[in-house]
Amino acid sequence: MIKSVLFIPFQFILFFIPYCFAEQGVSSTKIKLGMSNALTGPASQLGNELKAGSMVYFNKINQKGGIHGRKVELISLDDGYEPVKTIANTHQLIAKQVFALFGYVGTPTSHAILSILKQKNILFLMPFTGADFLRTPVKSNIFNLRASYQQEAKLQLEYLIKQKGYKNIALVIQADEFGLAAEKFFLRYLKDYKLSPVVTSRYRRNSDDISKVLSTIKQQSVDAVIFVGTYQPLAKLINSGHEQGVTPFYTTLSFISSSDLYSRLKHKSRVMVSEVMPEPANCSWKVCYQFMADMKKAGIAHPNRVQLEGYLNAFIFTQVAKKCQVMLTKTCFIQEFERFSLKKEILPVRYSSESHQGLQQLYMSLSQSALLEEN
């Protein structure tokens, strides 16, 4: 009799553990994540490709029963790469009781919701930006995957100055927080070489009107142009410049999406993109083999770096969430994230309480004309 009295309450407690410790966005069958990014507009390729990569992985996990029986629901809203819409979407996602904000795209959009992130203390996971304000100082609720714009800026200038020997360098900057976040590092590292931009020109976000930019560059003797912005205006600048006899060497940040940029170039142009993801087809990480196979099953024949980043975002979220077992809470998730790492051959990712950026790797992709110049 005593044995049964003790056993029944234990069964009762075991059954109700998931409900006693219920966390926002987590039920016995579901984990809700919220995503706001550009699904329409000039930067829509970035949002759609990042989302596609994440969904391929989450769909696979859900088909296998989810994370400890919980399927991942990704609620995706379109902000068109406009901060005002990002703010509205973020409030809407929080109202929907999501566990975390996941896979946002852009520096100005992320900057616009900083006060919300602080006030609500909601998890903000693996945004598609290298902005330093999301990295230093470390914030307990923000985790990044990709290398920073500071790291990319240093790589670009080492390449342009040390390897190519260029000194007359122009800056073309998107006139918003993205431009400011990257520009300060280019200026810092130019100063290390005792250089400054021969000209700095700015253009408006979500616009491809670069006529004034091109006119300004034409008036200077420019060896190279460092471009901070999105793929459409850069493609137009390169194409229009070529048609007007302006053919400097161009470098740009990983945010550009090199595959989307190169597909829009009409002429032989010299371009280097600093990358934070390897070329998927040439990647030797075990997770890359998995990515290529899963994308093929999903009907995506030629996956790119942006899709890989989205896939890795989902992969890492899943691995960290699994470590909390059935007790997925924000506290447990943060604790597990801050000690999460994998073997280098799988994915060389490492987090700690001192660093919420998982990857440090940098790569370069060169246009065909730039490659020929190297050889």
For 283-306, write each residue's pLDDT tens digit. 999 999 999 999 999 999 999 999
Q: What is the rounded CA–CA span in Å between residue 190 and residue 11?
A: 66
Q: What is the rounded CA–CA span in Å between residue 179 and residue 256?
A: 13
Q: Is the pLDDT at 93 greater than 80, yes or no?
A: yes
SS3 129: coil
Q: Is the pLDDT at 44 greater than 70, yes or no?
A: yes
Q: Which two tokens stand for residue 182?
A: 């990257």
Cβ(199)–Cβ(171) below 8 Å: yes
Q: Is the pLDDT at 252 greater than 60, yes or no?
A: yes
Q: How buried is 241 (Cβ within 10 angstroms: 0-12 exposed, 13-18 middle, 19+ buried)?
A: buried
Cβ(146)–Cβ(53) below 8 Å: no
Under CATH, which number does the domain 23-146+283-337 receive?
3.40.50.2300
Mean pLDDT on 51-57: 99
Q: Over the Cα atoms of the chain, what is R_g?
A: 23
Q: Is the pLDDT at 17 greater than 80, yes or no?
A: no
DSSP letters, 63-84, are HTT-BTTBEEEEEEEE-TT-HH
Q: CB neighbours (10 Å) of residue 89?
A: 23
Cβ(197)–Cβ(222) below 8 Å: no
pLDDT band at 10 (very low <50, low <70, confident <90, very high): very low
Strands 169-174 and 224-228: parallel
Domains 23-146+283-337 and 149-275 share a fold: yes
What letter represents residue 108's amino acid?
Answer: P
Domain boundaries, the chain: 23-146+283-337, 149-275
Q: Which fold has domain 149-275?
A: Rossmann fold (3.40.50)
Q: What is the rounded CA–CA span in Å between residue 47 and residue 80?
A: 9
Mean pLDDT on 231-256: 96
- Which secondary structure element, helix H or strand E, spans residue 31, and what is its range? strand 30-37
SS3 206: coil
For 177-216, write each residue's pLDDT tens digit. 999 999 999 999 999 999 999 999 999 999 988 999 999 9
Mean pLDDT on 354-360: 98
pLDDT value, residue 371: 87
Q: Is the pLDDT at 270 greater than 70, yes or no?
A: yes
pLDDT band at 16 (very low <50, low <70, confident <90, very high): very low
pLDDT value, residue 174: 96
Looking at residue 158, what DSSP letter applies?
A: I
Mean pLDDT on 308-319: 99
pLDDT value, residue 1: 43
Its pTM stands at 0.93
